[in-house]
Amino acid sequence: MATPENLTATAIETIVMNALRLPTSNTTELGKIRDLINAVYRDIYLKHDWWWMLKTQVVNTTAKVAHDGTMSVTLGSTAITASTAISLPIQHYALILTGNANDPNAVYRITTTTTSGTGTALVVDAGITAATSTAAGYELYEDKIKLSADVGKMGQIKRFGGGLPIRLIGQEMMMQLKIQGSISGRPEWASVFEFATSGDPTTQRWLWLHPYPDKAYRLEILYKQQLNTELSSTTQPFMPDEYRQLLVYGALARGYPIYMDDLERAKFFQALFNDLMALMQAAQREYASDLPHLYPDESYRDTRRTRGRRGRVSLGSYFGRLPYEP
């Protein structure tokens, strides 16, 4: 008999099938029961930012790359050639042409790179606004960081070495910051977006940083995992062993009225589900008292934006910490 210590997804399916008097050899019914168990699992997952779904990802930004007089550019063209080879995988990097008197705040996004003789040929996302030159200086910044494939809801982003956490903002606010100019320094704000490169057409979630990181920074990202795959014989519940019985109780509470027309047993298992859920919620409150929150204060959306002489947006203290919901 399965115990909480070995309640695998397969064991849970077997318990539910046997309780509902369904032969485990019936693959059609097994598929339906698996769907029932996964529905319970998804409902539990969505109820809270459970401690057992939280993970961290550590990433490193790349230090600014800067060179004088080593890039050939043509006004209006998206093709650029660097006379020296660039060894970094700079696709999606931000490119700033130094000394661009025509448009000093212009930032271009590199879309493709290829080797060209001893140099590097680049294609950017928009036509160059700088004057044609065979000796343009440039700076490269990595302000977009690829997140883990299982990243769901974002939490705090901390810099190693201390300081306030990086503040999560919406994409619209990030665009407002970016159009102010090519400001570099220690990242203070971040936004999450989905993006695919030509070299990797699969849509990925990325972290967009501002200001443009001027040196290598080590960041720790807290997030809630997505339920990317359903439970099966090869995947197991994320929840701790002592709470996996919830999947049995929940599936039986839903299954007895369907398969056995037995509302009394359904109520019995619903009561067991509620009792065990209450215990897990109590554990959640204990863990949550020390956990950072997984969403920014939304008040920034309604806060009046103030602009100085240069048109810069003042973010003020728009972000707070919401109470962790029990």
Residue-wise pLDDT for 191-236, tens only, equals 998 866 555 555 678 999 999 999 999 999 999 998 877 888 788 8
Q: Tell me, what's the pLDDT at 293?
A: 55
Half-sphere exposure of 260 (CA within 13 A, CB side): 19
Express each pLDDT in 243-265 by its tens digit. 999 999 999 999 999 999 999 99
pLDDT (mean) for 84-101: 85
Which token pair is 5? 């210590």
Q: Does 312 score more than 50 pLDDT?
A: no
Q: Tell me, what's the pLDDT at 87?
A: 78
Q: Tell me, what's the pLDDT at 192?
A: 92
23-48 b/e (C-beta count within 10 Å ≥ 16 → b)? eeeeeeebebbbebbbebbeebbeeb
Express each pLDDT in 178-196 by its tens digit. 888 778 999 999 999 886 6
What are the Cα distances from residue 160, in Å, to 93, 218, 294?
Answer: 23, 6, 19
Residues in the chain: 326
Q: Does 310 score more than 60 pLDDT?
A: no
User: What whole-number percentage of the chain has pLDDT above 70?
Assistant: 84
Q: Which of 65, 113, 56 is nearest to 89 (CA)?
A: 113
- Sequence spans of domains, the chain: 4-50+239-288, 55-61+147-206+216-226, 65-141
- 309 pLDDT band, cuts 50/70/90, is very low
Q: Which long-range contacts (CB under 8 A, 24 or more apart) does 213-216 make?
A: 213/61, 213/62, 213/63, 213/64, 213/141, 213/142, 213/143, 213/184, 213/185, 213/186, 213/187, 214/63, 214/64, 214/141, 214/184, 214/185, 214/186, 215/61, 215/63, 215/64, 216/60, 216/61, 216/62, 216/63
User: What whole-number percentage of the chain has pLDDT above 90?
Assistant: 58
Q: Tell me, what's the pLDDT at 223?
A: 93
Q: Tell me, what's the pLDDT at 254?
A: 97
Q: Tell me, what's the pLDDT at 5?
A: 57
pLDDT (mean) for 257-284: 96
What is the residue-averaged pLDDT of the chain?
Answer: 84
Q: What is the CB neighbour count within 10 angstroms for residue 311?
A: 10
pLDDT (mean) for 115-119: 80
Q: Tell me, what's the pLDDT at 109?
A: 92
Q: Tell me, what's the pLDDT at 4?
A: 54
- The mean-pLDDT minimum among 11-15, 66-70, 133-137 falls in 66-70
Q: Tell me, what's the pLDDT at 234?
A: 80
Which token pair is 10? 């397969």
Q: Tell me, what's the pLDDT at 244?
A: 96
The CATH fold of domain 65-141: Elongation Factor Tu (Ef-tu); domain 3 (2.40.30)
